């Protein structure tokens, strides 16, 4: 991904498998968010290709990546605070009422609440009542709603990819544990997760593999069991040489 003479992403080759949590680490400006935006269709890469389930895909917009089974959970969550949980979980896929009212665009809120309850139960997620406005939720509950909204859209017959940008940045310990459990639960159900985080303990706990970016290049890609905090900090800061020469 080039911006004029600036190479935001340079020759990066990265992959994530179904049921795997890949941690994406790096200092500010390393290219993590840019890479997620390329994967989610927000940015179009200058060169290279994206393959989803082995098939080459071109994303002209986020709608294209959604169609391919990719969901992005942004750091600001993109929730509608004044609306209830069920409405937020069904944004963009509303259930309309039957008959003339549906033709006029009236939403079947009761059906949406039933679907949301069933989907959260399948994910093993517990949150407040479906009628609770999002603005009345705690930070952890809000994050879970945002994660669950993405998860319900990638956890179908052909499990997709969930991109997470700093999902625990503003959360306390207990709330972080709740989000961590949900990420692992999704992986166990076959969803591929890419997690951008500055929280090394979280990455070491929840991820199966970690890739490190430094100034737009991938400098490490290693299973969690084969690395430690000191090595990761070395790659992040540039004090440790790249694994790839």
Looking at residue 156, what is its pLDDT?
60
* CB neighbour list of residue 3: distance below 8 Å, 6 or more residues apart: none
Looking at residue 229, what is its pLDDT?
94
Model pTM? 0.85
Residue given tokens 């309309």 in the structure block: 96
Backbone dihedral region of 144: left (phi > 0), alpha (psi from -120 to 50 degrees) or beta?
A: alpha
Structural domain that includes position 182: 2-81+137-237
Residue 146 in any domain: the answer is yes
Looking at residue 25, what is its pLDDT?
96
Residue 119 in any domain: the answer is no
Closest CA to 194 of 167, 226, 232, 172: 167
Residue 34 burial (CB count, 10 A)? 20
Looking at residue 102, what is its pLDDT?
84
- CATH code for the domain in which residue 194 is found: 3.40.50.300
Residue given tokens 């052909």 in the structure block: 158
Ranges of residues in the chain whose predicted pLDDT is under 50: none
Looking at residue 157, what is its pLDDT?
54
Residue 219 in any domain: the answer is yes
What is the C-alpha separation between 197 and 155, in angstroms, rounded? 23
Residue 168 in any domain: the answer is yes
Number of domains present in the structure of the chain: 1
* DSSP string for residues in the chain: -EETTEESS-S------TT-EEEEE--TTSSHHHHHHHHTTSS--SS--EEETTEEE--SSHHHHHHTTEEEE-TTTT--TTSBHHHHHTTTSPPBPSTHHHHTT-B-HHHHHHHHHHHHHHHT---S-TTSBGGGS-HHHHHHHHHHHHHHHH-SSS--EEEEESTTTT--HHHHHHHHHHHHHHHHTT-EEEEE-S-HHHHHHH-SEEEEEETTEEEEEEEGGG--HHHHHHHHHT-S--TT-
Residue 209 in any domain: the answer is yes
Residue 150 in any domain: the answer is yes
Residue 211 in any domain: the answer is yes
Residue 107 in any domain: the answer is no
pLDDT digits 0-9 by tens, 180-230: 888 898 898 888 999 999 999 999 999 999 999 999 999 999 999 999 999
Looking at residue 226, what is its pLDDT?
96
């Amino acid at each position: 991904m080039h911006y004029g003479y600036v190479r935001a992403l340079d020759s990066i080759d990265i992959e994530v498998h179904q049921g795997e949590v890949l941690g994406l680490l790096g200092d500010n400006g390393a290219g993590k968010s840019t890479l997620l935006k390329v994967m989610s269709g927000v940015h179009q890469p200058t060169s290279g290709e994206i393959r989803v389930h082995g098939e080459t895909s071109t994303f002209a917009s986020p709608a294209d990546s959604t169609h391919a089974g990719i969901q992005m959970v942004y750091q600001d969550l993109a929730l509608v605070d004044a609306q209830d949980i069920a409405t937020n979980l069904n944004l963009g896929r509303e259930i309309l009422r039957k008959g003339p009212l549906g033709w006029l665009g009236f939403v079947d809120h009761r059906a949406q609440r039933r679907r949301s309850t069933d989907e959260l139960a399948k994910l093993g997620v517990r949150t407040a009542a479906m009628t609770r406005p999002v603005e009345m939720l705690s930070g952890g509950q809000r994050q879970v709603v945002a994660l669950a909204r993405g998860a319900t859209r990638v956890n179908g017959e052909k499990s997709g990819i969930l991109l997470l940008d700093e999902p625990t940045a503003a959360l306390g310990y207990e709330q972080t544990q709740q989000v961590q459990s949900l990420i692992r639960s999704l992986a166990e159900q076959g969803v591929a997760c890419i997690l951008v985080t500055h929280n090394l303990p979280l990455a070491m706990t929840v991820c199966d593999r970690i890739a490190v970016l430094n100034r737009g290049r991938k400098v490490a890609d290693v299973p969690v069991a084969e690395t430690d905090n000191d090595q990761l900090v070395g790659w992040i800061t540039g004090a440790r040489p790249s694994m790839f020469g």
